Structure 1
Amino acid sequence: MNIDTQPLRIGISGSYGGMNLGDEAILQAILAQLRASLVAEITVFSHNPSDTLARHRVEHAISARLLPKKEARQVVKELDLLILGGGGILYDGGAEAYLREVFLAHELGVPVFIYAVSAGPLRTPSAMQAVRDALNHCAVITVRDRLGYRLLEDVGVQNEIHLTADPAFLLEPEEMPIDALVAEGVQQERNLVGFSVREPGPAAPDIDPEDYYALLANAADYVVERYDAEVVFVPMEKTDVQHSHAVVAHMQNAESAEILRRRYSPGQVLDLMRRFEFAVGMRLHFLIFAALQGTAFSALPYASKVVGLLEDLKIDSPPLANMGIGQLIAHVDRSWDTRKQIKAKIENRLPSLIHRANQTNALLSDFARKEPPS
């Protein structure tokens, strides 16, 4: 790669296309780091190319799933480097699809950089084999948490694995205007507590949806009454809106709950987190945003990637599966009562995570500069 005389042609493949604010935060942070260190012509493999082009400063965006393999091969062939990641994309049912461009790159001799991914669950033989075969031929592998690191080793990845951190730890806030919150109906006079909910997912696969919504609604009602709070539901992706409405529908204090309805950027949601006295969340990047703003939170770990974040921050949290309302309220209440200690833990651990997040692009830049011209 001759990075001094012409732009690097870099492809970025991941879960992009406007479906999830956390994924868009990842891409925004990756692009900011790339642009600051390398001259590049960037192509994003996206679920929604028009959304990606509208949100991000990239030269090209192409369909990640609709593009026929022959056409995808031609796009990959023109690249100097393919980046896979970041995000939790190596899991049963999804890994093989996300690895399609990686296998094409291997066939064409295009180097692949795995960018701060997490892994799991990985239990099916086909997914484990795909991950093992793909990553053992990658130039550089970086993961964002120790759980992913251990899992990749367990499935047979022999290449060196570097522990870094989620790129979203490098995201910069963008002002969320007060007027926007007023228009959403948020009352500024009371304590604001942010909530992030989603479908139960693998953490509680057997729970009845009505029981699940009632469980979270009871926790939200307790927060309203116990802390004299206004609960603000923050959808991190479109499907979160319907789950938020379902929770509010089960609340006794629904008049003290608001669901954000407008479209916000990841940076604006990050800015919003500083207005919360406390947060209760399931989505990983909702919790990362809280940590970045020093907001104490109570996590409901629906997936291993959330457990990985809690492990990094040295914060305990019980599993969501089989949790009764008493246990959930006790957990939330304990987190509220110890929020100063939680904030201190975050303040102590956050610099290390930011440093680790910076290491991913440092490894990428070093690799690009050492590669011979294509």
Structure 2
Amino acid sequence: MPDRTGLTIGVLGSYGGRNLGDEAILTGLLADLRQHEPNARIIVFSRNPAHTALAHPDVEAVPWEGVSRVDSSQVLNQLDLLILGGGGILYDKEARRYLRVVRVAQERGLPLLTYAVGVGPLTDGMDTGMVRETLAQAVEVTVRDQESRMVLEEAGLVNPITVTADPAFLLEPEEFPAQWLREEGVPAGARLVGLSVREPGRAAERLDVDGYHRLLAQIGDFLVHRIDAYVLFVPMERDDIRHSHGVLSHMIAADRGRILHGDYRPAQILGLMRHFDLAVGMRLHFLIFAAMMNTPFLPLPYAGKVFDLAQRLGVPALRGVEREVEGPLLAEVDRLWDERAARADETARRVAEVCDQARGTSQVTRSVLDSIRARALTPAA
């Protein structure tokens, strides 16, 4: 039987939704917890417990959506600590769903730690109030970027807020053999550009679907002709496949485009970045993966979290996707290709700094776990 002498820790986030970015966050977070608490019993609150249990067989996975307070309490009563995050989960209409579970935990005196959580946009009065009141009771609040700290401060949170970095920066790459690219239809010896698109959705409501599909198709065609490349679309979640097809349908050089169809782990997609000569994308974790592997990349921002990443790493970021203005974007893509070697060292230096910041979350977590263990060993008065 497994050794259960460690703490019991719950992890609540946007897990089980088959989003590679969220799964990268969970992979990094779990590795961090295992480093500090090897014998911990870890319970992940998941949208799809079967998927989470399959991807992470060393944890327990339980549902949280549509679960009553009574049933939630049965799980929460077993915990020594609840971790909220990481990832962007505290925003309008969504924050209240996660915090409903957190409030049940806090009613039972369970300590709360936010783990490099992403916050915003946060304008709805109910969500803002719940975030302020719930996080005010947290033992530690860590966020993944400056924008999240500003949103919390504007919401009225007066707790100390530690800015760290996305847990995906803790991920180690796995091999992505060249043969897998051949099986995906990418010919050997070709220059390869990675492209990431996303659905509009609640996180990117201002995107006009047909307009940005056409704009990204122009970028794809430009790269095909500019550097004689193949374009490989990398879906970070299921709906990205549909939008990748939408972009590809507008490309003149559609025969030079491929869509990644295999079922890959986040660390394998991180390894895939080694094969790209250039990466252009919208999805945050696609860009994080490119940065970590020192692949030249250009963000196509749709939200503040992507701008924050670009600023931290010192790379240009234009709002051309929302405004559907191709001229500045194509010029920046062209400049990125010409200056890729000159930018490499500075970007690598900044990525190393952000990786250190991501490890800062680990230091906070260790302190919280040490405190909980110390209390558990202290005899009652």
Q: Distance in 1 between matches of 2:222 and 2:26?
A: 36
Partner of 2:46: 46
> 1:202 touches 1:302 (CA, 8 Å); kept in 2?
no
Partner of 1:360: 361
Which amino acid counterpart does residue 56 of structure 1 have in structure 2?
Answer: H
Q: Residues 185 and 121 (structure 1 numbering): CA distance in 2 closer, same or farther, change over 3 Å?
A: same
Q: Distance in 2 between matches of 1:74 and 1:175?
A: 41
Mapping of 1:140-155 within 5 angstroms? 140-155=140-155
Q: Residues 202 and 338 (structure 1 numbering): CA distance in 2 closer, same or farther, change over 3 Å?
A: farther
Q: Distance in 2 between matches of 1:33 and 1:104?
A: 26
Q: Distance in 2 between matches of 1:13 and 1:139?
A: 16
> 1:201 touches 1:302 (CA, 8 Å); kept in 2?
no
Which amino acid counterpart does residue 373 of structure 1 have in structure 2?
Answer: A
Partner of 1:9: 8
> 2:211 touches 2:324 (CA, 8 Å); kept in 1?
no
Partner of 1:94: 94
Which amino acid counterpart does residue 34 of structure 2 have in structure 1?
Answer: R
Shift of 1:204: 6.5
Q: Distance in 1 between matches of 2:353 and 2:69?
A: 41
Mapping of 1:209-248 within 5 angstroms? 209-248=209-248
Deviations 1:154-211 (A, max 9, x none): 1111111111111110101111122211111012322100000012457864554222
Q: Distance in 2 between matches of 1:163 and 1:341?
A: 29
Structure 1, unmatched stretches of 5+, are none
Partner of 1:37: 36
Which amino acid counterpart does residue 23 of structure 1 have in structure 2?
Answer: D
> 1:15 touches 1:47 (CA, 8 Å); kept in 2?
yes
Shift of 1:45: 0.3
Q: Residues 204 and 101 (structure 1 numbering): CA distance in 2 closer, same or farther, change over 3 Å?
A: closer
Mapping of 1:188-227 within 5 angstroms? 188-201=188-201, 205-227=205-227
- SS of 1:321's equivalent? helix
Q: Distance in 2 between matches of 1:274 and 1:206?
A: 32
TM-score, L = length of structure 1? 0.95
Partner of 2:376: 373
Deviates more, 1:150-159 or 1:280-289: 150-159
The answer to whether 1:340 aligns with 2:341 is yes
Which amino acid counterpart does residue 359 of structure 1 have in structure 2?
Answer: G
Q: Distance in 1 between matches of 2:292 and 2:131?
A: 31
Greater relative CO (CA pairs within 8 A, separation 6+): 1
Q: Distance in 2 between matches of 1:245 and 1:157?
A: 43
Mapping of 1:52-91 within 5 angstroms? 52-91=52-91
Shift of 1:282: 0.4
Q: Residues 263 and 357 (structure 1 numbering): CA distance in 2 closer, same or farther, change over 3 Å?
A: same
- SS of 1:295's equivalent? coil
Shift of 1:32: 0.8
> 2:204 touches 2:303 (CA, 8 Å); kept in 1?
no
Q: Residues 229 and 5 (structure 1 numbering): CA distance in 2 closer, same or farther, change over 3 Å?
A: closer
> 1:196 touches 1:235 (CA, 8 Å); kept in 2?
yes
How many pairs were matched up? 371
- SS of 1:373's equivalent? helix
Identity within the alignment, %: 46
Deviations 1:116-139 (A, max 9, x none): 011111111111111111111111
> 1:204 touches 1:321 (CA, 8 Å); kept in 2?
no
Structure 2, unmatched stretches of 5+, are none
Q: Distance in 2 between matches of 1:259 and 1:165?
A: 30
Partner of 1:27: 26
Q: Distance in 2 between matches of 1:299 and 1:14?
A: 25
> 1:221 touches 1:251 (CA, 8 Å); kept in 2?
yes
Q: Distance in 1 between matches of 2:295 and 2:340?
A: 8
Q: Distance in 1 between matches of 2:211 and 2:104?
A: 45
The answer to whether 1:258 aligns with 2:249 is no
- SS of 1:274's equivalent? helix
Mapping of 1:323-338 within 5 angstroms? 323-338=324-339
Q: Distance in 1 between matches of 2:120 and 2:17?
A: 23
Q: Give the alignment's Cα RMSD to 1 decimal.
A: 1.6
Q: Distance in 2 between matches of 1:326 and 1:187?
A: 30
Which amino acid counterpart does residue 63 of structure 1 have in structure 2?
Answer: P
Q: Distance in 2 between matches of 1:312 and 1:51?
A: 33
Shift of 1:33: 1.1
Deviates more, 1:319-328 or 1:160-169: 319-328
> 1:16 touches 1:52 (CA, 8 Å); kept in 2?
yes
Q: Residues 201 and 311 (structure 1 numbering): CA distance in 2 closer, same or farther, change over 3 Å?
A: farther
Partner of 2:299: 299
- SS of 1:338's equivalent? helix
Deviations 1:220-275 (A, max 9, x none): 00010111100000000000000000100111001100000110000110000011
Which amino acid counterpart does residue 318 of structure 2 have in structure 1?
Answer: P
Shift of 1:5: 8.7
TM-score, L = length of structure 2? 0.94
Q: Distance in 2 between matches of 1:326 and 1:356?
A: 35
Q: Distance in 2 between matches of 1:37 and 1:140?
A: 17
Which amino acid counterpart does residue 35 of structure 1 have in structure 2?
Answer: R
Q: Distance in 2 between matches of 1:228 and 1:253?
A: 11
- SS of 1:36's equivalent? helix
> 2:96 touches 2:127 (CA, 8 Å); kept in 1?
yes
- SS of 2:142's equivalent? strand
> 1:44 touches 1:58 (CA, 8 Å); kept in 2?
no
Shift of 1:279: 0.3
Which amino acid counterpart does residue 283 of structure 2 have in structure 1?
Answer: R
